[in-house]
Amino acid sequence: AQSVTQLDSHVSVSEGTPVLLRCNYSSSYSPSLFWYVQHPNKGLQLLLKYTSAATLVKGINGFEAEFKKSETSFHLTKPSAHMSDAAEYFCVVNMNNNDMRFGAGTRLTVKP
């Protein structure tokens, strides 16, 4: 079985400070992992993906994530938050088929 847990339902940061959105997964096999962002009333946009190559993955808009197999984690980070980063973020795991499992989402608020 596979599942994904986003550890925080809501994260609030000040503009210019670092962002950390946490994700843990469970999977019996080597998974593919993704982070998506959703702005209000929009669909999901792919931020980055891990597919068994480099464990540190760089994505769009300055985001990156590190795959840590020993910790079964795939946390999303950004060095400096921007107001436009305010959105909902989803961590997704895909085991070995078209079965994508979504976390419940983390809402990121960025304060001026």
Partner 1 sequence: DVKVTQSSRYLVKRTGEKVFLECVQDMDHENMFWYRQDPGLGLRLIYFSYDVKMKEKGDIPEGYSVSREKKERFSLILESASTNQTSMYLCASTLGQGNRQPQHFGDGTRLSIL
Catalog residues that contact partner 1 under the rule CB under 8 A. Answer: 9, 31-32, 34, 36, 41-46, 49, 51, 90, 94-100, 102-105
Least Å distance, CB 62 to partner 1, is: 19
Least Å distance, CB 17 to partner 1, is: 26
How far is it, in rounded angstroms, from Cα 60 to Cα 64? 8
Q: What is the DSSP letter of 84?
A: G
Which CB, 7 or 95, lies closer to partner 1?
A: 95
Which CB, 73 or 94, lies closer to partner 1?
A: 94
Which CB, 24 or 94, lies closer to partner 1?
A: 94
Alpha carbon of 35 to those of 50, 59, 91, 111, 112: distances in Å?
9, 9, 5, 22, 25
Which CB, 41 or 70, lies closer to partner 1?
A: 41
The length of the chain in residues reads 112
How far is it, in rounded angstroms, from Cα 75 to Cα 98? 23
Contact predicate 87/110, CB 8 Å: no
Least Å distance, CB 81 to partner 1, is: 23
Least Å distance, CB 5 to partner 1, is: 11
